[in-house]
């Protein structure tokens, strides 16, 4: 069965059985008050606005039987997979791996590294722990998708111009078709959010398609 979403720059067609929903880096340290993102001076409310629509999409995708994938950016406890250039960049008082507001910053197993309460994975859903911004770099995501015969990815998450767009570009190079749900992504910087979305859908969907979550959810009523 092929479904069609009213998307930009044109309709996005997908087979639900060959489609995965990906929730990118909806982590406490990025989104919640008191997390590392706010510590850096960012307005986390700009990211929190993506939580509710993503929650609705996640519920709809679960009901429709989609494969669900959650990603988290972070490093091993001993920081062996964290490039020194990444750790040192920014000249910050609290760096990646240091003790932050919610435990060691971007370290696996710490409170800040975990998902926000509204978007916790359910049993059987895939979790990809990634050391970089793109979800394919140094992970087994491609193997996971190909083993389940996945051809299309519906993307939600944060931030639009960093981890979401990096993942879309990586997926595009590997032959996956991507649909980004615009209201389910967000950035600390509104202008980056706007331009990041435009870049994805430019030149006839050079990296992927863009749609509103309501359009996607309404399409699933046919499943």
Q: Catalytic site residues?
A: 25, 130, 163
Task: Give the whole-angstrom CA distance, residue 208 versus residue 185.
Answer: 14
Contact (CB, 8 A) for 207 and 178:
yes
Task: Give the whole-angstrom CA distance, residue 129 versus residue 131.
Answer: 7
Q: Which secondary structure element, helix H or strand E, spans residue 3, and what is its range?
A: strand 3-5
CA angle at 102 for the pair 101 and 106, rounded to the nearest 5°: 105
The residues near 146 (Cβ < 8 Å, ≥ 6 apart) are: none
């Amino acid at each position: 069965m092929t479904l069609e979403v009213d998307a930009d720059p044109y309709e996005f067609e997908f087979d639900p059985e060959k489609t995965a929903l990906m929730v990118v880096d909806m982590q406490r340290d990025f989104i919640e008050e008191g997390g590392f993102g706010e510590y850096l001076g960012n307005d986390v409310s700009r990211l929190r606005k993506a939580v509710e629509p993503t929650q609705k999409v996640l519920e709809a995708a679960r009901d429709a039987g989609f494969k669900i994938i959650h990603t988290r950016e972070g490093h091993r406890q001993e920081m062996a997979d964290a490039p020194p250039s990444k750790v040192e960049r920014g000249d910050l008082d609290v760096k990646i791996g240091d003790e932050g507001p919610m435990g060691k910053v971007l370290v696996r197993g710490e409170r800040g590294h975990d998902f926000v309460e509204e978007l916790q994975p359910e049993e059987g859903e895939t979790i990809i722990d990634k050391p970089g911004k793109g979800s394919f770099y140094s992970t087994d995501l491609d193997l996971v998708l190909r083993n389940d015969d996945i051809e299309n990815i519906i993307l939600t998450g944060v931030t639009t111009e960093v981890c979401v767009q990096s993942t879309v570009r990586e997926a595009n190079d590997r032959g996956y078709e991507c649909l980004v749900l615009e209201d389910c992504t967000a950035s600390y910087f509104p202008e980056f959010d706007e331009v990041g979305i435009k870049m994805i859908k430019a030149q006839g969907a050079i990296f992927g398609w863009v749609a509103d979550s309501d359009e996607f959810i309404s399409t699933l009523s046919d499943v």
